[in-house]
Amino acid sequence: MKQKLTQELLLSLTADTPSISPKFFYDEIGSHLFEVITLLDEYYPTRTEKWIMDNYQSEIANAVGSCDALLDLGAGNCIKASQLFNSIKPKQYHALDISKEFLETAVADLRKQFPQISMSAHAVDLSQTFTFPTLQNLRKIFFFPGSSIGNYDPDKADAFFSNLAIQCNDDGGLLIGVDLVKDVQTLNCAYNDALGVTAAFNLNALLNINKLIGSNFNPVNWEHYAFFNTSLSRIEMHLRARDDVKVTIPELGSKDHVLTFKAGDLIHTENSYKYTQDDFVEKLRSAGFENIHSWTDPQNHFLVCFVNARKIS
């Protein structure tokens, strides 16, 4: 496992555009930091999505219909999914995320509150194709809130949706939240909060990598850098070298690898794409979904959709 991660990180860090996958944000510390981010004044997506889910609770439940298994993609602390339990009434709940320890603690707490629901926690890398053969004969509802789909480049989002449509087996569905295009100031502030929590979240990825592969990134040598790229309709997050830096990646084969970064060099850590409602609905339709139900807030800042998988005749 360590060798595989080392190879993956060496490949991404030595690419023409050095990068680190967003999955490395989410160790236990990173998961807690993201919880704090969702409470910040600048970070509107979480509270806006909750407003939509609360105000259209009955309509959403009616659109979803019966639910044998609720699959929570990127579950985090599982709070968002648990707020659906009383309205959607799933028979089973499966929480999926990258941070196993954080996820298992959250599911253990939920079991006490909802003993009637069968629950399980799964450590899954959502950037990889996944299947659910043991749930083959159940009506599955996938839940993907928080605009996490924005972290996928458009072609990867298309592949992700197409895979989900197949996993639905003709009768399941997807309940998803997505952030919409809006004024640049609001977007930039959401990813550059005054308290620096997002900066700490970004820098913590370096500490997580150190733990995983034994590298020697020093967060003091790096700073958070985030901005809205208008031409690509996405927030970009980077780590920017404060000065000239050398980083050692432990031995893989015959010798250690030393990576050199000059002051101002960037490591790309995350994209967060923003969509128009029409573009996003078309994306879902093209992937194999139909019967699209949409809800938004009065400012049109955020969108929640429920879609059914298109039946194959």
Q: Which residue has the higher pLDDT, 305 or 7?
A: 305
Mean pLDDT of the chain: 93
pLDDT band at residue 213, thresholds of 50, 70 and 90? very high
pTM: 0.90
Model confidence at 30, in pLDDT bands (50, 70, 90)?
Answer: very high
What is the third-level CATH fold of 44-183+275-309?
Rossmann fold (3.40.50)
The helix (run of H) or strand (run of E) holding residue 280 is helix 277-287
The percent of residues in the chain predicted with pLDDT above 70, rounded, is: 98
Q: What is the pLDDT of residues 66-104, one digit of tens each?
A: 999 999 998 989 999 999 999 999 999 999 988 778 889
Q: Which residue has the higher pLDDT, 134 or 288?
A: 288
pLDDT at 313: 53
Reduced 3-state DSSP string for 35-82: HHHCCCCCCHHHHHHHHHHHHCHHHHHHHHCCCCEEEEECCCCCHHHH
Amino acid at position 284, single letter: L
How is the chain split into domains, by residue range?
Answer: 2-21+199-273, 44-183+275-309
Is 157 or 1 the better-scoring residue by pLDDT?
A: 157
Sequence-ordered list of residues with C-beta below 8 angstroms from that of 275, at least 6 positions apart, any chain: 150, 178, 179, 180, 181, 233, 283, 303
Residue 274: closest CA among 186, 194, 202, 165: 186
**Predicted pLDDT at 57:** 97
Three-state DSSP class for residue 178: strand
pLDDT tens-digit map of 148-182 = 999 999 999 999 999 999 988 878 999 999 999 99
Q: Give residue 2's pLDDT.
A: 83
| pLDDT at residue 312 is higher than 60 | yes
Q: What is the mean pLDDT of residues 211-227?
A: 97
Tell me how far apart the alpha carbons of residues 270 and 152 are, in angstroms, rounded to a whole number.
9
How far, in Å, CA of 45 to CA of 177, rounded?
Answer: 9
Give the model's pLDDT for residue 272.
98
pLDDT, one tens digit per residue, over 220-270 is 999 999 999 999 999 999 999 999 999 999 876 667 889 999 999 999 999
Asked if the model's pLDDT at residue 210 lies above 80, the reply is: yes
Residue 193 has what pLDDT? 98
| Residue written as token pair 């039946």 | 311
